[in-house]
Structure 1
Amino acid sequence: MGAEYKPGDRVYLDASDIQTTRPSKKLSHRYLGPYTIERQVGPLAYKLRLPRSMSRLHPVFNAVKLRLAPPDPIPGRRARPPPPPTLIDDEEWFDVEDILDSRFFRRKLQYKVKWKGYGYEDASWEPVENVAHARDLVREFHRRHPDAPKQVRGMLLVDPAALRAARAPVHRGAAP
Structure 2
Amino acid sequence: MGHLSEDMTKETVASTAWRPQREQLLIEYINTCERFQKAYRKHGNKYGLLQHTEEPKHQWETINMNWATGLVPGGKQNFNAFLIIVDRFRESVRSLPSHKEHTAMDTALIFWNNLISTCGVPKIIISDRDPKFTSELWTNLYDMLGTKPAFSTAYHPQTDGLAENTIQTMEGIIRKFCEYVLVSTLNLNNLKGTKKIKHSFLGPFTIIKLIGENSVEVKLTGEFSRKHPVFPVCLVKPYFQEEEDMFPSRKKNPTPPETVEVEDTPGPVKKILKFRKMRLNGKGQRQYLVRFKNQTADTDRLLAEDAILDGDLHLRRFRACQAESMLKK
Give the TM-score range, shorter chain: 0.3 to 0.5
Q: Which has the higher contact order (CA 8 A, sep 6+)?
A: 2
TM-score by length of 2: 0.18
Q: Which has the larger radius of gyration?
A: 2
> Which structure has greater helix proportion?
2
> Which structure has greater strand proportion?
1
TM-score by length of 1: 0.32
